[in-house]
């Protein structure tokens, strides 16, 4: 598979290296002549000096036959333009952008970038995972379906503890798909009774996530 990577920083370098090891044909573009010289010593002919935002540069390296274009520079605006140019002018089927400002994620998605990777968001999620108290942790976003897989722990004093899933009357937009009780995984049904400290995994929409918070994470007696 022919893959173009824009941005020869640390991420671009390790990414290109990994893709080459996997047997892909890779072109890694970077604007900086010194950086490209340095990268060439390690990755050879795959390194090209040039601005991946420029249509002419992309044309010269045969962007039209690339199956994936990945933009991983440190600047969101450059990553956006690389992907939009690849998509609009060269009809590249799959574009992937790194997003540094998490607030750009929704916009990039709306503008047609196929996959958005947000290191900032990932780190934030990892931190939330370390502090699982009363929080709902997003694990995976299934962007096309508009669903997220989230994890939450039933707190002590949760209104949901001791009740069955059916009694919670969750909307269809919030589906508990797995319960981890101690070390045991349980497949939930309507009759499953939730207990304090149960780890729940649920598929939710934005609305479903709200219902899940309300019915499980709010403390009993709190208004």
Partner 1 sequence: MRILIMGCGRVGATLASMMANEGHDVTIMDISSAAFVRLGRDFPGANVIGDGTDEIVLRRAGIAEMDCFIAVTNGDNRNILAAQIAKNTFHVPRVICRIYDPKRQETYAELGLDSICPTVVSAQLIRNAILDPDKGTISAAQSLAEGRSVPLKGQQEAATPAQGTTNRQ
Query: Which residues here bind partner 1, judged by CB under 8 A?
Result: 53-56, 75-78, 80-81, 84-85, 88-89, 101, 103-104, 106-107, 110-111
Q: Count helices and strands (H / E) in the chain.
A: 8, 11
Smaller CB separation from partner 1, 111 or 124: 111
Please tell me the distance from the alpha carbon of residue 119 to that of residue 141, in angstroms, as a whole number. Answer: 14
Give the nearer residue to partner 1 in terms of CB position, either 46 or 104.
Answer: 104
Q: Give 106 or 129: the residue with its C-beta nearer to partner 1.
A: 106
Q: Please report the sign of the dihedral spanned by the C-alpha atoms of residue 96, residue 93, residue 28, residue 57.
A: negative
Give 58 or 179: the residue with its C-beta nearer to partner 1: 58
Q: How far is CA 64 from the centre of its chain?
A: 26
What is the smallest separation between the CB atom of 158 and partner 1, expressed in angstroms? Answer: 34
Q: Which is nearer to partner 1, 88 or 122 (CB)?
A: 88
Distance between CA atoms of 209 and 206, rounded to whole angstroms? Answer: 5
**End-to-end CA, the chain:** 56
Distance of closest approach, residue 78 Cβ to partner 1, in angstroms:
5
**Distance of closest approach, residue 101 Cβ to partner 1, in angstroms:** 6
Q: Which is nearer to partner 1, 5 or 203 (CB)?
A: 5
- How far apart are alpha carbons 70 and 182 in whole angstroms? 41
Nearest approach, Cβ of 76 to partner 1 (angstroms)?
7
Residue (of 192, 197, 201, 133) closest to 168 by Cα position: 192
Tokens of 216: 């499980």
**Phi, psi torsion values for 18, nearest 5 degrees:** -60, -40
Q: What is the 3-state secondary structure (H, E, C) of 171-202?
A: CCCEEEEEEEECCEEECCCCCCECCCCCEEEE
Report, in Å, the least distance between residue 111 CB and partner 1. 6
Q: How far is the CB of 219 from partner 1 (least distance, A)?
A: 31
């Amino acid at each position: 598979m022919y893959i173009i990577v824009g941005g020869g920083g640390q991420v671009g370098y390790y990414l290109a290296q990994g893709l080459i090891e996997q047997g892909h044909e890779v072109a890694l573009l970077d604007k900086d002549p010194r950086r490209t010289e340095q990268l060439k010593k390690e990755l050879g002919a795959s390194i090209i000096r040039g601005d991946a935002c420029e249509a002419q540069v992309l044309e010269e390296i045969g962007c039209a036959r690339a199956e994936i274009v990945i933009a991983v520079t440190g600047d969101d605006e450059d990553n956006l333009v690389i992907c939009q140019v690849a998509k609009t002018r060269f009809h590249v089927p799959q574009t992937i952008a790194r997003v540094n400002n998490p607030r750009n994620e929704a916009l990039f998605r709306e503008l047609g970038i196929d996959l958005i990777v947000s290191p900032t968001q990932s780190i934030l999620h990892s931190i939330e995972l370390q502090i699982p108290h009363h929080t709902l942790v997003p694990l995976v976003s299934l962007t096309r379906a508009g669903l997220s897989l989230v994890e939450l722990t039933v707190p002590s004093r949760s209104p949901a503890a001791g009740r069955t899933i059916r009694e919670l009357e969750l909307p269809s937009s919030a589906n508990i798909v797995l319960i981890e009780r101690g070390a045991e995984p349980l497949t939930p049904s309507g009759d499953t009774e939730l207990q304090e400290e149960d780890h729940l995994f649920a598929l939710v929409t934005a609305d479903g996530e709200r219902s899940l918070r309300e019915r499980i994470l709010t403390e009993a007696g709190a208004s």
